[in-house]
């Protein structure tokens, strides 16, 4: 017993040392920007020349990523200002246009275009932009010259604001270029020895975590509370709040400020080059960490539920699908010059599957690309309803899905934190189905734009809608909140409240499926373990006490409620559709109405 305790302490020390080194690396970074780095990161020759013009950063050493990134942003702004100065319509040109039109106060597009200046390329661009923004004004009569000038000036201002999108470095390009420049300019010790730091941090943390976990889990039974409600980590104590804060910060950096985590990315360059032949990006780092977490905590899960074959098999399943389908195969596809593709990801969880750039890339990739497209559509239209009919949503949410895999492994210690209140259930139904509707409307608009080339759909700009969805749902909800809130709200926050695919699967499961959890009310001792550990916030005991089958759209069929029941009251079944809800037992002298329970 003492040796096990010592082993756990050793593991904890190794983990703390590795994790401490991981956290400290960004604070010892140095940066040096040179022309070669710029040439590598900015492919467009004209933009590159403007960026390098009078660039004071070249050759200067920086000791802080914050100051380096701030100066980079200043250079991007300066570059775009130079672009506007070259391609923008000047005040002088506006004055010339007004001067020649002021007699009749009638705007004439052809006359306006004739007053523009510049070389052939610049002149043609200005004419195209003026045509695009002011064609509706052509031959329009104004009450005064001032009114005409005001209208024209406003439109020219819009033109000049949008020039960076067409000729400069727009915000989407800046994010990518900034990350590449920061990573390439990083001259810290990690750059010189990425493999060494990979072993000391990532591998060290894995070894430490396993040494800490294994001795503790061997004597743990799944149906015991194991002091979860006394732990500062698993009962929203200071450790849980600290972990949640770290996860939230990590996701914010990953999605919005990846330039501040380049040393962490550089460490996994050797792995990325081995798999895809390319240097790692921030999302390769994410996939790498994601897979490691599922493996480490998956081993813990299998030991904890060592007497339950169902839990062992489904844990192995999510470990396999994450490793093979979500991590290895997509990287190998890139090495073979095919599109990155996760064969287990399904729309609308994979919300950008029908985006025009995704469709164009798949179609342009030959037979394999067409197969990927057909496969993705078949998953949505055939696999989801058919598999869910026979097995419930558990076939995906608890056996295949990466989000579910992380929730079931890394999130298992926090499953008891899910809110079981009626209020939470009402919020859940409204929010998750609203996200599903949002995803459907967005996708309809995206496909409309793809086939018609029109960006206006039902009065909405489809590009803005997809941008809002990507930011609000794809990044903030699924990542920052969905995982960052594990120690605060339980491990299935995203699956329960936000996942549109879970909503789709749930609708099929609720109304047309053979899956149910049967209960034996006569054996229930009302211990409450089942409700406590239901990660989806279902009050399982309420059903068990009445001997009523559990048929809920939110149930992911994880089976933990059955695993932690000391009397074997609960059982996961795929029976006939008839009598799915079962017959409730008598409560006193009154029989609970079935329709009341079903509601």
Kindly state whether residue 309 falls inside one of the protein's structural domains: no
What's the confidence (pLDDT) of residue 223?
58
User: SS3 breakdown of the chain: % helix, strand, coil, rounded to 5?
Assistant: 65, 5, 30
How would residue 172 be classed by pLDDT, with cut points 50, 70 and 90? confident
Kindly state whether residue 201 falls inside one of the protein's structural domains: no
Quote the CA–CA distance of 442 and 464 in Å, as a whole number. Answer: 10
Q: Among 7-16, 138-147, 160-169, which is the least confidently predicted range?
A: 160-169
Rounded to the nearest 5 degrees, what angle is found at the Cα of 513, between the Cα atoms of 512 and 515? 155
Residues 264 and 182 in one domain: no
Report yes or no: 226 and 220 within 8 Å, Cβ to Cβ: yes
65 Cβ partners below 8 Å, 6+ apart?
Answer: 26, 29, 31, 182, 259, 260, 262
How would residue 598 be classed by pLDDT, with cut points 50, 70 and 90? very low
Residues 387 and 257 in one domain: yes
Residues 58 and 137 in one domain: yes
| Mean pLDDT on 542-546 | 91
Of 495, 513, 531, which residue sits at a domain end? 513
Of 136, 159, 187, which residue sits at a domain end? 187
11 Cβ partners below 8 Å, 6+ apart?
Answer: 207, 208, 209, 210, 211, 212, 213, 215
More confident residue, 85 or 594: 85
Residue whose pair of structure tokens reads 């990953």 in the numeric block: 254
Report yes or no: 84 and 164 within 8 Å, Cβ to Cβ: yes
114 Cβ partners below 8 Å, 6+ apart?
Answer: none
Give helix 500-511 / helix 422-452 axis angle, nearest 10°. Answer: 110
Q: What is the CATH number of the domain that holds 527?
A: 3.30.70.20
Kindly state whether residue 18 falls inside one of the protein's structural domains: no
What's the confidence (pLDDT) of residue 585?
58
Q: Among 215-219, 448-452, 473-477, 538-542, which is the least confidently predicted range?
A: 215-219
412 Cβ partners below 8 Å, 6+ apart?
Answer: 297, 300, 301, 304, 491
Q: Which residues of 438-474 are buried (b: 16+ CB within 10 A; e: fewer)?
A: bbebbbebbbbbbeeeeeebeeeebeebbeebbeebb
Instruction: List beta partners, residue 342.
Output: none
Kindly state whether residue 317 falls inside one of the protein's structural domains: no
What's the confidence (pLDDT) of residue 557?
95
Domain that holds residue 591: 514-598
One DSSP character per residue, 256-315 reads H-GGGGHHHHHHTHHHHHHHTSS---HHHHHHHHHHHHHHHHHHHHHHHTTT-HHHHHHH
| Mean pLDDT on 81-99 | 91
- For 269-311, write each residue's pLDDT tens digit: 999 999 999 999 999 999 999 999 999 999 999 998 988 999 9
Residues 534 and 509 in one domain: no
Quote the CA–CA distance of 551 and 575 in Å, as a whole number. Answer: 12
Residues 63 and 142 in one domain: yes
Report yes or no: 172 and 463 within 8 Å, Cβ to Cβ: no
Percent of the chain with pLDDT over 70: 95
- Closest residue by Cα to residue 567 from 530, 515, 534: 530
Q: Which two tokens stand for residue 258?
A: 């990846």
| Mean pLDDT on 15-33 | 93
| Mean pLDDT on 100-106 | 84
Report yes or no: 560 and 312 within 8 Å, Cβ to Cβ: no
Q: Report CA-CA distances (Å) from 260 to 2, 121, 183, 252, 270.
A: 43, 38, 9, 11, 20
What's the confidence (pLDDT) of residue 1?
60
For the chain, counts of helices (H) and of strands (E): 33, 8
Residues 506 and 525 in one domain: no
Report yes or no: 213 and 219 within 8 Å, Cβ to Cβ: no
Kindly state whether residue 305 falls inside one of the protein's structural domains: no
- For 174-221, write each residue's pLDDT tens digit: 899 999 999 999 999 999 999 999 999 999 999 999 999 888 766 666
Kindly state whether residue 545 falls inside one of the protein's structural domains: yes
One DSSP character per residue, 12-80 reads HHHHHHHHHHHHHGGGG--EEB-HHHHHHH---HHHHHHHHTT-TTBT-EES-HHHHHHHHHHHHHHHH
How would residue 162 be classed by pLDDT, with cut points 50, 70 and 90? confident
Residues 394 and 245 in one domain: yes
- For 334-359, write each residue's pLDDT tens digit: 999 999 999 999 999 999 999 998 99
Kindly state whether residue 371 falls inside one of the protein's structural domains: yes
- For 114-159, write each residue's pLDDT tens digit: 999 989 999 999 999 999 899 999 889 998 888 999 999 999 999 9
What's the confidence (pLDDT) of residue 161?
86
Residues 234 and 102 in one domain: no
Highest averaged pLDDT of the listed ranges 49-58, 285-294, 521-530? 285-294
Instruction: List beta partners, residue 461.
Output: 456
Per DSSP bridges, beta strands 460-461 and 61-62 are unpaired
Mean of all residue pLDDT scores within the chain = 90
- Closest residue by Cα to residue 363 from 352, 377, 378, 374: 374
Of 481, 497, 513, which residue sits at a domain end? 513
Report yes or no: 83 and 163 within 8 Å, Cβ to Cβ: yes
Residue 380 above 90 pLDDT? yes
Report yes or no: 490 and 416 within 8 Å, Cβ to Cβ: yes
Total number of domains in the chain: 3
Residues 566 and 433 in one domain: no
Residues 495 and 549 in one domain: no
Residues 387 and 480 in one domain: yes
What's the confidence (pLDDT) of residue 263?
95
How would residue 505 be classed by pLDDT, with cut points 50, 70 and 90? very high
| 3-state SS string for 314-341 | HHHHHHHHHHHHHHHHHHHHHHCCCCCC
Q: Among 225-234, 290-299, 462-471, which is the least confidently predicted range?
A: 225-234
Q: Which two tokens stand for residue 356?
A: 């025009």
Report yes or no: 315 and 411 within 8 Å, Cβ to Cβ: no
Residue 64 above 50 pLDDT? yes
Determine how many CB atoms are found less than 10 A away from the CB of residue 207: 17
Q: φ and ψ at 582, to 5 degrees?
A: 75, 180
Per DSSP bridges, beta strands 61-62 and 456-457 are unpaired
Percent of the chain with pLDDT over 90: 70
Kindly state whether residue 382 falls inside one of the protein's structural domains: yes
Determine how many CB atoms are found less than 10 A away from the CB of residue 68: 25
What's the confidence (pLDDT) of residue 262?
95
- For 234-258, write each residue's pLDDT tens digit: 899 999 999 999 999 999 999 999 9
Side-chain half-sphere of 161: how many Cα atoms within 13 Å?
7
Residue 318 above 50 pLDDT? yes
Q: Which residues of 150-162 are buried (b: 16+ CB within 10 A; e: fewer)?
A: eebeebbeebbeb
Residue 469 above 80 pLDDT? yes
DSSP 8-state secondary structure symbol assigned to residue 186? B
Residues 413 and 518 in one domain: no
């Amino acid at each position: 017993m003492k040796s096990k305790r010592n082993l756990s302490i050793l593991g904890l020390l190794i983990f703390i040392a590795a994790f401490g080194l991981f956290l400290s690396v960004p604070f010892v970074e140095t940066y040096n920007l040179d022309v070669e780095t710029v040439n590598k990161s900015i492919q467009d020759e004209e933009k590159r020349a403007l960026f390098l013009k009078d660039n004071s950063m070249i050759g200067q050493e920086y000791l802080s990523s914050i100051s380096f990134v701030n100066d980079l942003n200043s250079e991007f702004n300066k570059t775009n200002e130079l672009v506007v100065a070259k391609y923008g319509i000047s005040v002088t040109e506006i004055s010339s246009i007004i001067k020649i039109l002021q007699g009749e106060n009638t705007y004439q597009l052809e006359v306006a275009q004739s007053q523009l200046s510049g070389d052939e390329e610049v002149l043609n661009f200005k004419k195209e932009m003026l045509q695009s923004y002011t064609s509706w004004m052509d031959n329009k009569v104004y009450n005064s010259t001032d009114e005409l000038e005001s209208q024209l000036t406003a439109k020219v201002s819009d033109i000049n604001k949008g020039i960076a999108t067409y000729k400069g470095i727009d915000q989407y390009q800046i994010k990518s270029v900034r990350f590449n420049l920061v990573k390439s300019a990083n001259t810290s010790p990690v750059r010189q020895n990425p493999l060494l730091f990979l072993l000391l941090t990532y591998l060290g943390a894995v070894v430490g975590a396993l040494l800490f976990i294994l001795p503790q889990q061997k004597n743990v039974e799944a149906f015991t509370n194991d002091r979860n409600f006394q732990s500062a980590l698993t009962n929203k104590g200071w450790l849980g709040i600290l972990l949640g804060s770290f996860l939230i910060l990590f996701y914010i950096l990953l999605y919005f400020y990846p330039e501040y985590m380049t040393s962490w990315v550089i460490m996994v360059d050797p792995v990325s080059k081995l798999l895809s032949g390319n240097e790692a990006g921030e999302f390769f780092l994410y996939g790498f960490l994601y897979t490691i977490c599922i493996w480490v905590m998956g081993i813990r899960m299998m030991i904890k539920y060592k007497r339950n074959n169902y839990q062992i098999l489904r844990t192995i399943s999510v470990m396999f699908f994450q490793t093979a389908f979500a991590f290895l195969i997509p990287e190998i596809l890139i090495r073979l010059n095919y599109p990155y593709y996760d064969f287990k990801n399904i729309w609308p969880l994979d919300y950008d599957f029908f985006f025009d750039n995704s469709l164009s890339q798949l179609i342009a990739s030959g037979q394999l690309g067409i197969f990927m497209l057909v496969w993705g559509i078949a998953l949505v239209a055939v696999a989801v309803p058919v598999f869910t009919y026979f097995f419930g949503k558990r076939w995906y949410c608890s056996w295949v899905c990466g989000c579910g895999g992380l929730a079931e492994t890394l999130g298992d210690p926090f499953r008891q934190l899910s809110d079981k209140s009626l209020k939470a259930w009402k919020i859940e139904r409204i929010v998750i189905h609203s996200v599903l509707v949002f995803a459907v409307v967005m996708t309809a608009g995206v496909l409309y734009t793809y086939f018609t080339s029109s960006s206006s759909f039902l009065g909405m700009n489809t590009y803005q809608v997809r941008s809002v969805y990507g930011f609000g749902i794809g990044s903030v909800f699924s990542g920052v909140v969905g995982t960052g809130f594990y120690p605060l709200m339980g491990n299935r926050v995203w699956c329960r409240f936000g996942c549109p695919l879970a909503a789709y699967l749930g609708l099929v499961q609720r109304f047309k499926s053979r899956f149910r959890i049967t209960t034996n009310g006569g054996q229930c001792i009302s211990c409450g373990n089942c409700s406590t550990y239901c990660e989806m916030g279902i009050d399982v005991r309420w059903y068990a006490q009445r001997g009523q089958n559990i048929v809920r759209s939110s149930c992911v069929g994880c089976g933990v409620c059955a695993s932690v029941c000391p009397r074997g009251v609960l059982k996961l079944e795929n029976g006939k559709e008839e009598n799915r809800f079962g017959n409730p037992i008598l409560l006193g002298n009154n029989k609970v109405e079935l329709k009341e329970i079903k509601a």
